[in-house]
A = this chain, B = another copy of it.
């Protein structure tokens, strides 16, 4: 007996996520997906409308996760910007590590969304990144952070974080929260030794 915790539809999403991640959306056929699920290709369409619908769900579900995590981390405007930034970084890492496969799809396969979903997705991502720019900008304005170019700094910061799904394996020696702390430290303190380090 299979795990009945997931509906068949959720099983399809999950298996598709793994395949999309390793082989890419375009290179994953419905027959491959069906085979991985132990069924025939046509049968999948009792549960979904199209292949792209699966990708759509994966991408937009993660977008929501990132947003709600950020809200919670950065909403409290009493905290210093640097602290909120650190919390936002940790939230981002938490979402990434909670489902690495889905994160990888979210990061790389969104281009295979057709319009208007693609444009909608990019708008969401842009809003999310703007949140980070805002935090870094505030921190720079208040003198907490050294960031002569907040746009540039935000790009680099998210870049470091978003590479995580390409090497992180759940169950490794580092727990997600450890990774989050290390990343935050390295990004905020840098590599070069100057003065006291945490």
State the A residues within 8 Å of B (CB): 22-27, 82, 108, 111-112, 136, 139, 143-147, 149, 152-153, 155-164, 167, 182-183, 186-197
Contact = CB atoms under 8 A, between A and B. Distances in A.
Q: Ordered nearest first, which 10 A-B pairs have the shortest CB separation?
A: A190-B190, A159-B163, A26-B27, A26-B26, A188-B192, A189-B190, A195-B195, A146-B193, A159-B160, A160-B160
Contacts of A23: 111
A143 B197 CA distance: 12
Contact of A156 (B146, B155, B160): B160
Contact of A191 (B161, B162, B188, B192): B188
Copies in the complex: 2
Contacts of A193: 143-146
22 contacts: A24-B112, A25-B27, A26-B26, A82-B192, A136-B191, A139-B191, A144-B192, A145-B191, A146-B189, A146-B192, A147-B191, A156-B160, A157-B191, A158-B163, A159-B164, A160-B160, A160-B163, A162-B163, A163-B163, A188-B190, A188-B191, A194-B195
A167 B149 CA distance: 15
A80 to B, nearest CB: 11
Nearest to A185: B190
A156 B186 contact: yes
Contacts of A189: 146, 190, 192, 194
Contact of A24 (B24, B187, B197): B24
Contact of A108 (B108, B143, B155, B195): B108
